[in-house]
Amino acid sequence: MVTATTSPPHAIVIPYPAQGHVIPHLELAHALVDRGFTVTFVNSEFNHHRVLAAMADTTATTGLLGRIRLVAVPDGMEPGEDRNNLVRLTVLMAEHMAPRVEDLISRSHAETDEPITCMMTDYSLGTWTLDIARRTRIKSAAVWPASAAVLASLLSIPKLIQDNIIDSKDGSALMQGTFKLSPDMPIMHTAHLAWNCIGNHQGQDALFRNVFGCVRAVEKCDLLLCNSFLGAEEATFAQFPKVVPIGPLLTGERRGRAVGHFWRPEDDACVSWLDAQPARSVVYVAFGSFTMFDTRQFQELALGLELCGRPFLWVVRPDIVHGDVHDYPPGFLDRVGGAGGRGKLVAWSPQQQVLAHPAVACFVTHCGWNSTMEGVRNGVPFLAWPYFADQFVNQLYICDVWKVGLRAEADESGVITKEHIASRVEELMSCASMRDRVEAMKKVALESLKEGGSSHDNFDMFVRAMKE
Ligand code: UDP
C-alpha cells in the first residue's frame, strides 16, 4: 500500500463527466484540502475546458485551484459528438480514460515526491477505476453523489433479478408495480428504477452491464460514501450499513473558490435582483444541467410563471430547448422580462446562493439530487418536476416521504399546463406546514454537518481511513 511519509496525503478525485457529479466531487476535493490533502482532480478534457472557461480567476491559465491540480484526460468521444449520450460516453471512457489515469498515478509514484496515496472515484466509474486503485496499491473510496435509496436499489440488483422483478439481461422491469427493498423502506415503483429512466433504449443492455458491474466493483473499495444524511434516509442507511452518509455536501457554497460549474454563473445579476424583492416572494425555477424541453412545454412553463403573478427567477440554460431555440410565447419577454417586469431570466445561476437568499419562497425543480439537497439545506419547499434517471425516486421522497413539496403533474396530453403550474405554486406558497417541515429538515441536515453530527463524524472517519 502506498502511503505518504513526509509529503501530505495525495488524493486523486475522479468524477463522472456530468455537472451534477463534477460539482459535489470538487466540493469533496476542497473539503479534503481543508483536512491537509493535496488533490489531483481528473476531468474529461471536454469538461476540463468548460470548467476553466466558467472561472473568472487565474485557475483558467494555471489549472491550479489552491492545492487542487485540475487535470484533463480525453473521454474518447470525437469533437462535437453528443456527450448527453451517456451509454456511448460510459463505454468509451472505460477504454480511453483508464490507461491515462493509471499512468498518472504510476508516474506520481515513480517520478514525484508527492505520490498519489488514495483515490475517490465516482461510484459510476467503479468498473475500471477501482481496478486501477488495486493495481497501483492505493486506498480507495467510491462516492455516490445521489440518494441512498437509489444506491440501495443498485446494490439490490442481484436480489431484484432473483425475485423476478427485473430482467438479468438489461434490467428492464418484468412486472409493473411497487415493491420494497426492506419492510422499513419506502415503496418504490419498477417504472422508477434509475437505469430504466435514462431515455436511450438502444444501449440499455450496455448501460445495465455497467450499472451491474459497478455493484460488484465497489466490493473492492475501502469505503462507500453517499452525499446524503442520516435523518433524510434513516431506514435505508440502517438496511445498507456499508453506505456511509457524509452529506449534504456544501455544493456551491465556497465563495471565491470554484466549484466546477460548466457555465459561468450570473452571480451579480441574480443576487442584486433578489435583493430588490420582498422576503419569501420569489419562485426560483431551475432544472439542472441535463433537462430539455420541447417548445410546447417550454412555452407552457413560461405562461405558467406569468400566471403565478409572483416574481420569478428562471434559469434558461442555452441548451434547455431541443434545437437550442428559445421560442418564448409572443410578447412574454416584453411583459415579464423588461425593467420593472416580474421575471428575471438567466442562463445559469449561483444556485446555492440563490436558494439561501431570503427572497426565495419556493423551488420549481427537476429533482436532481444536488438540487434536492440544496433546497433542503436552505429550507425551501419544492414543486417537483422530474425529468430522468434517479429524479423520480427523489420526487417520491420530496412529496411522499418528507412531505416538503408537491408534484407537477402532466395532463392527459402529457403537458404540465400553465394553470396547473400556477395553482401548485400558489398551494406551495400558502402551505405553512410544508414550510415547517422543510425548515425542520434543514435543521437536521445542518446538525449532521456540525462537529459531533453523523455526517461530520463520518467524514472524519473517512479522512483517517484514507490517511492511514
Ligand atoms: N446549478 C447551478 N446553477 C443553475 C442550475 C444548477 O449552480 O442555474 C447547480 C446546482 O446547484 C447543482 C447542479 O448544478 O449543484 C445540478 O445538479 P443536480 O443533481 O441538481 O442536477 P443535474 O444537473 O445532475 O441534472
Domains of the chain: 10-147+201-253+451-467 (3.40.50.2000), 267-446 (3.40.50.2000)
Enumerate the H helices of 112-261 as residue ranges: 126-135, 148-155, 157-162, 204-217, 234-239
248 lines ligand 1 (CB under 6 A): no
Q: How far away, in angstroms, is 224 Cα from ligand 1 center?
A: 23
259 lines ligand 1 (CB under 6 A): no
- The dihedral through the CA atoms of 345, 266, 81, 27 has a sign that is negative
Q: Look at residue 80 and tell me whether its pLDDT is greater than 80.
A: yes
Choosing from 370, 372, 391 the residue with most ligand 1 atoms within 8 A of its CB, the one to mutate for a pocket test is 370
Contact 236, 152 (CB under 8 A): yes
Question: Which of 401, 408, 355 shows the shortest CA–CA distance to 385?
Answer: 408
Q: How far away, in angstroms, is 350 Cα from ligand 1 center?
A: 9
348 lines ligand 1 (CB under 6 A): yes
Average pLDDT of the residues in 108-136:
96
Whether the upstream peptide bond of residue 358 has omega within 30° of 0, thus cis, is no
Count of beta carbons in the 10 Å neighbourhood of residue 321? 19
Q: How far away, in angstroms, is 186 Cα from ligand 1 center?
A: 26
292: left (phi over 0), alpha (psi -120 to 50) or beta: beta
- The dihedral through the CA atoms of 274, 280, 282, 283 has a sign that is positive
User: CA-CA distance, 145 to 59, in Å (whole number)?
Assistant: 25
378 lines ligand 1 (CB under 6 A): no
Q: How confident is the model at residue 3 (pLDDT cuts 50, 70, 90)?
A: low
Q: Look at residue 219 and tell me whether its pLDDT is greater than 70.
A: yes
Q: Look at residue 427 and tell me whether its pLDDT is greater than 70.
A: yes
Q: 266 is written with which cell numbers?
A: 450570473
Q: How far away, in angstroms, is 289 Cα from ligand 1 center?
A: 6
Question: Which of 302, 387, 299 shows the shortest CA–CA distance to 345?
Answer: 302
User: CA-CA distance, 246 to 311, in Å (whole number)?
Assistant: 35
User: CA-CA distance, 325 to 328, in Å (whole number)?
Assistant: 9
User: CA-CA distance, 6 to 263, in Å (whole number)?
Assistant: 39
Question: Which of 166, 148, 354 shows the shortest CA–CA distance to 268?
Answer: 354
Contact 273, 311 (CB under 8 A): no
Q: Look at residue 324 and tell me whether its pLDDT is greater than 80.
A: no
Q: Look at residue 293 and tell me whether its pLDDT is greater than 80.
A: yes
Q: How far away, in angstroms, is 129 Cα from ligand 1 center?
A: 25
User: CA-CA distance, 454 to 461, in Å (whole number)?
Assistant: 10
- Residue at grid coordinates 456551491: 252
282 lines ligand 1 (CB under 6 A): no
Closest atom of ligand 1 to 389 CA is: 25
144: helix, strand or coil: strand
Looking at residue 61, its pLDDT comes to 67
Q: Look at residue 454 and tell me whether its pLDDT is greater than 70.
A: yes
Q: 156 is written with which cell numbers?
A: 439490490
Average pLDDT of the residues in 84-106:
92
User: CA-CA distance, 420 to 294, in Å (whole number)?
Assistant: 18
What single letter denotes the amino acid at residue 64?
L
Q: Look at residue 226 and tell me whether its pLDDT is greater than 90.
A: yes
DSSP class of residue 335?
I
| H helix and E strand count, the chain | 18, 16
251 lines ligand 1 (CB under 6 A): yes
Crossing angle of the two packed helices 86-111 and 126-135, in degrees rounded to 10 = 10
Q: How confident is the model at residue 7 (pLDDT cuts 50, 70, 90)?
A: confident
CA distances in angstroms from 145 to 120, 142, 149, 195, 198, listed in the order given: 12, 10, 12, 15, 17
Q: How confident is the model at residue 223 (pLDDT cuts 50, 70, 90)?
A: very high
Half-sphere exposure of 392 (CA within 13 A, CB side): 16
Choosing from 28, 50, 371 the residue with most ligand 1 atoms within 8 A of its CB, the one to mutate for a pocket test is 371
Contact 27, 251 (CB under 8 A): yes
Q: Nearest residue CA, atom 17 of ligand 1?
A: 20
User: CA-CA distance, 147 to 159, in Å (whole number)?
Assistant: 19
Q: Nearest residue CA, atom 24 of ligand 1?
A: 20
Average pLDDT of the residues in 376-383:
97
How high is the mean pLDDT of the chain? Answer: 93
Q: Look at residue 46 and tell me whether its pLDDT is greater than 60.
A: yes
- Please report the DSSP string for 47-87 in residue order: HHHHHHHT--STHHHH-EETTEEEEEE--SPPTT--TT-HH
Closest atom of ligand 1 to 288 CA is: 23
What single letter denotes the amino acid at residue 256?
G
370 lines ligand 1 (CB under 6 A): yes
Indicate the range of 252-266, 349-363, 434-448 predicted with least confidence: 252-266
